[in-house]
Every structure is written in structure tokens, then in C-alpha cells.
């Protein structure tokens, strides 16, 4: 029997921390997993630079406090999405400040040393997993529940992709992302998954979030993902990687849900319909990038592709009052004093802080090939 707890929360820091601790307590407490002196890797979701789309810091703070209470040594480890630069994302989100405040080590998995691990009956024979994860005593997975253009829903299972380097992730996109996620979860099983389900956004966080106000926790990551689907009114069978994991027996047969929840359905139809098209496009993008990376080792075209087809800022000069607030707020110095946006600097950061701060709406969000 897999126990999964759901605790309602308000959206202030105090309430989120309290609810996170309660969710952990309801599945037996962290002391079941963490013992004195244990190295504990905490894997949040810092996929991109937008706060609403990443694991809430208060969930992380609560987990770190609980781990320390048991004498464990927490280490935060993460890597941003393929199209972003992890260092820039950490800086924009103030992750180094969080690590300092909590007095924990921070690992950027982008440069981590890895070791081959065999995948039992998988799509891949082996995967390269960071040594820090393999050598740790405990892995605590702290995803953010979100919508995703390729997998429709992302929670615990997909969050583990952040431990893989870009080469490994490219392989996932080139073969079959859903089966690859299942492989990863066979190779690297989190001991505990605590989901920030406070609100649901699109994967990179652009767009209006849907308020869910819950924290979900459990030891069985597939069971946790199934419950996450339930609370947003999605049939898990439609989510290929979760359904495949269940089929392959990665999940306990019975799930005991502890706690009450109100189902908050999210609209999926359009996303499910467009999923195949997105998968095809991403595959194509990664094939081109693979060829490019063979010619220019360690280089990638993915940020450029995402800049072209994704969201990006554009200054409308006729509306601009030259207040220069956007220049000051840009965390990577991508806007110069002539109010020109440097594509190279903005491309792998794209935090849209400039859009938010402009008092006269002179910075628009451009999407796709539109100019
Ligand atoms: S130009 Fe705007 S979107 Fe780009 S990094 Fe700077 S603030 Fe963020
Ligand atoms: S914040 Fe808006 S008005 Fe101010 S300089 Fe930038 S684009 Fe112009």
C-alpha cells in the first residue's frame, strides 16, 4: 500500500511551510528515511527563471529544516531546462542566497561528474547519473506540479530529468521521452517526493496560474504523480510516462490517500491534441541540435530555437518613455542604454522581468515567428 498525503495550504510562506511539514508527518515523518549523518540530496524544480513555475522556496525550507532535525546533511542539487543557463537561472531566482540562508551546499548538475548506471529492461541500456546523487544516502524529490507541452503533466517522475546532463537529456528527446522518463525512475528512485501543488502553471511559468493550494507527499513517486493527476482532474492513463510506469509495475497496486482535496480540473483537451505535434517538433529540433553539437562540441542551438519559437521581449519604441527601469531590472544586463535587447544575453535567461516592470506597457511578449 502506497501512502500519499494531501494537505491544503494558504499561499503565504508560513502556511506553506506548515503544510509541507504536515504532509511529511502524515506519511510517517522524515525520520523514517533520514538518519543522523545521512547525505540528503534535495532535488527541487528550478527549470527556468520565473518564480511561479519553480518549487516554492518555503517548501524547500520546510524540508531542509526537517532533514536537519534528524541530523541529516541536506544538499540542494538542480539544473535548469535545456534552453536556459543554470547559473543565470540560479542567479535570477536567488538560489545561491537561499542556499546561504539555509546553510546548505548547492550543486549545479550541469557540470557534475557522472557514472553509468544500468537500466533494467529499459529503452536505454544505461544512463549517466551524477555521482553526488548515487553516493547520497537519500534523494528527496521536490517538484512543482505543472502543465507541460510534451508530457501534458509534470510532477515527481519528470522532475528527475533535472539531474541529467544535456547529452543525456538530448537522448531522451531523440528516442521516446515518456519511456525514457520511466527508465530514469527505474535507475534513480527518490526516497520521498513532496510536490508543490500550490498552483499549476505552464512548464516555463508564462501565463496565468491555476490555484490548487495543496502539498502532496509520498514515498512512491508514481503513486504521488497519479494522485497529482487526480487533484487536477486528469486521467493518469492519458499521461504516457505515468501510465507506462504503472504498466511496468513501478507503482504500488493500492494507494491510500491521506487528507482531503477538492478536485480543480485544468483544461487539457487542446494540450493533448497538440502533444504529438510538439513531440515531433522537439524531436526535429534535437536532431538538428545533435548534428550541430557533433560539429561544435559542447555547443547547443536549443536556446536559439526556443528564442525563435518561444516567448521573448520586444520593446515598442513609440510607446517607451525612456524611464530606464527595464535596463535596471534586467538581471543579465541584456538591455543597453539605447534600449536594444541583446539576444545572446537574454536568450538563455528570458525572465520577462522587463515586461512586468515597464510602467507604460512598452515591452510586449512576442511568441513564435511573429515580429
Ligand atoms: S531582457 Fe527582459 S526577458 Fe531578457 S533577461 Fe533581461 S529582463 Fe529578462
Ligand atoms: S521600462 Fe518601458 S518605458 Fe521604461 S525604458 Fe523600458 S521600455 Fe521604456
Which of 48, 88, 349, 367 for mutating ligand 1's site (highest number of atoms within 8 Å of CB)? Answer: 349
Q: What pLDDT shows up at residue 298?
A: 81
The radius of gyration computed from the CA coordinates of the chain, to the nearest angstrom, equals 20
Q: Which residues on adjacent β-strands are paired with residue 214? A: 8, 197
Which one of the ligands is nearest to 331 CA? 1
Write the pLDDT tens digit of every residue in 146-168.
Answer: 988 888 899 999 999 999 998 89
Question: Other CB atoms closer than 10 Å to residue 327's CB: what's the count?
Answer: 16
Pocket lining: 316 vs ligand 2, CB cutoff 6 Å: no
Tell how far the Cα of 78 is from the centroid of ligand 1, in angstroms: 22
Tell me the average pLDDT across 120-139.
97
Q: What pLDDT shows up at residue 275?
A: 62
**Of 52-56, 212-216, 316-320, where does mean pLDDT reach its minimum?**
52-56
Res 333 pLDDT > 90: yes
Which one of the ligands is nearest to 50 CA? 1
What is the spatial distance between Cα 218 and Cα 246, in angstroms, rounded to a whole number? 16
Quote the DSSP letter at residue 61.
Answer: H
8 Å CB contact between 58 and 198? no
Which of 313, 329, 340, 363 for mutating ligand 1's site (highest number of atoms within 8 Å of CB)? Answer: 313
Tell me the average pLDDT across 325-331.
97
Which helix (DSSP H) or strand (DSSP E) does residue 24 occupy? helix 13-26
Collect all residues with Cβ–Cβ distance below 8 Å to 259 and sequence separation of at least 6.
5, 6, 7, 8, 23, 26
Confidence of residue 306 (pLDDT cuts 50, 70, 90): confident
8 Å CB contact between 31 and 6? no
Tell me the average pLDDT across 39-54.
94
What is the spatial distance between Cα 208 and Cα 147, in angstroms, rounded to a whole number? 12
Q: What pLDDT shows up at residue 207?
A: 65
**Domain 311-371 is found in CATH 3.30.70.20:** yes
Pocket lining: 48 vs ligand 1, CB cutoff 6 Å: no
- Backbone conformation region of residue 348, classed left if phi is above 0, alpha if psi is from -120 to 50, else beta: alpha
Which one of the ligands is nearest to 323 CA? 2
Write the pLDDT tens digit of every residue in 15-30.
Answer: 999 999 999 999 999 9
Res 249 pLDDT > 80: yes
Q: Which atom of ligand 1 is nearest to the CA of 351?
A: 8
8 Å CB contact between 138 and 41? yes
Tell how far the Cα of 216 is from the centroid of ligand 2, in angstroms: 41
Which one of the ligands is nearest to 355 CA? 1
What is the spatial distance between Cα 238 and Cα 244, in angstroms, rounded to a whole number? 10
Nearest residue (CA) to ligand 2, atom 2: 358
Average pLDDT, the chain: 92
Q: What pLDDT shows up at residue 109?
A: 96
Q: Evaluate if pTM is beyond 0.85.
A: yes
Q: What pLDDT shows up at residue 282?
A: 79
Pocket lining: 334 vs ligand 1, CB cutoff 6 Å: yes
Confidence of residue 100 (pLDDT cuts 50, 70, 90): very high
Highest-confidence segment of 92-96, 251-255, 346-350 = 92-96
Write the pLDDT tens digit of every residue in 170-218.
Answer: 999 899 999 999 999 999 999 999 999 999 876 555 667 889 999 999 9
Tell me the average pLDDT across 227-256.
93
Domain ranges for the chain, please list them.
Answer: 2-272, 311-371
Res 270 pLDDT > 80: no
Pocket lining: 320 vs ligand 2, CB cutoff 6 Å: yes
Pocket lining: 131 vs ligand 2, CB cutoff 6 Å: no
- CATH class as words, domain 2-272: alpha beta
Amino acid at each position: 500500500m502506497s501512502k500519499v498525503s494531501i494537505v491544503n495550504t494558504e499561499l503565504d510562506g508560513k502556511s506553506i511551510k506548515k503544510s509541507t511539514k504536515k504532509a511529511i508527518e502524515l506519511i510517517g515523518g522524515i525520520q523514517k528515511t533520514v538518519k543522523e549523518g545521512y547525505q540528503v540530496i534535495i532535488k527541487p524544480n528550478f527549470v527556468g527563471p520565473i518564480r511561479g513555475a519553480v518549487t516554492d522556496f518555503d517548501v524547500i525550507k520546510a524540508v531542509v529544516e526537517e532533514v536537519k532535525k534528524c541530523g541529516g546533511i541536506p544538499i540542494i542539487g538542480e539544473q535548469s531546462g535545456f534552453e536556459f543557463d543554470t547559473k543565470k537561472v540560479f542567479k535570477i531566482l536567488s538560489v545561491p542566497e537561499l542556499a546561504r540562508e539555509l546553510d546548505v551546499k548547492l550543486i549545479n548538475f550541469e557540470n557534475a561528474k557522472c557514472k553509468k548506471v544500468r537500466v533494467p529492461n529499459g529503452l536505454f541500456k544505461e544512463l549517466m547519473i551524477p555521482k553526488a546523487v548515487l553516493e547520497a544516502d537519500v534523494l528527496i524529490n521536490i517538484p512543482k506540479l505543472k502543465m507541460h507541452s510534451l508530457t501534458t503533466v509534470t510532477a515527481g517522475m519528470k522532475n528527475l530529468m533535472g539531474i541529467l546532463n544535456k547529452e543525456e537529456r538530448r537522448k531522451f528527446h531523440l528516442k521516446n521521452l515518456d519511456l525514457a522518463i520511466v527508465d530514469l525512475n527505474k535507475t534513480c528512485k527518490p526516497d520521498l517526493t513532496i510536490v508543490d501543488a500550490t498552483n499549476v502553471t505552464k512548464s516555463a511559468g508564462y501565463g496565468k496560474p491555476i490555484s490548487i493550494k495543496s502539498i502532496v507527499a509520498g514515498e512512491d513517486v508514481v503513486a504521488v504523480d497519479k494522485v497529482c493527476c487526480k487533484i487536477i482532474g486528469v486521467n493518469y492513463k492519458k499521461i504516457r510516462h505515468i501510465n507506462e510506469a504503472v504498466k511496468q509495475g513501478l507503482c504500488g497496486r493500492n494507494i491510500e490517500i491521506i487528507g482531503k482535496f477538492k478536485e480543480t480540473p485544468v483544461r487539457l483537451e487542446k494540450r493533448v491534441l497538440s502533444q504529438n505535434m510538439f513531440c515531433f517538433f522537439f524531436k526535429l529540433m534535437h536532431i538538428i541540435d545533435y548534428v550541430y553539437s557533433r560539429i561544435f562540441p559542447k555547443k547547443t542551438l536549443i536556446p536559439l530555437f526556443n528564442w525563435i519559437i518561444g516567448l521573448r521581449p520586444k520593446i515598442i519604441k513609440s510607446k517607451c518613455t525612456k524611464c530606464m527601469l527595464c535596463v535596471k531590472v534586467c538581471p543579465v544586463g541584456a538591455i543597453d542604454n539605447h534600449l536594444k535587447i541583446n539576444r545572446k544575453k537574454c536568450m538563455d535567461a528570458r525572465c520577462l522581468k522587463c515586461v512586468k516592470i515597464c510602467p507604460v506597457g512598452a515591452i510586449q511578449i512576442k511568441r513564435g515567428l511573429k515580429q
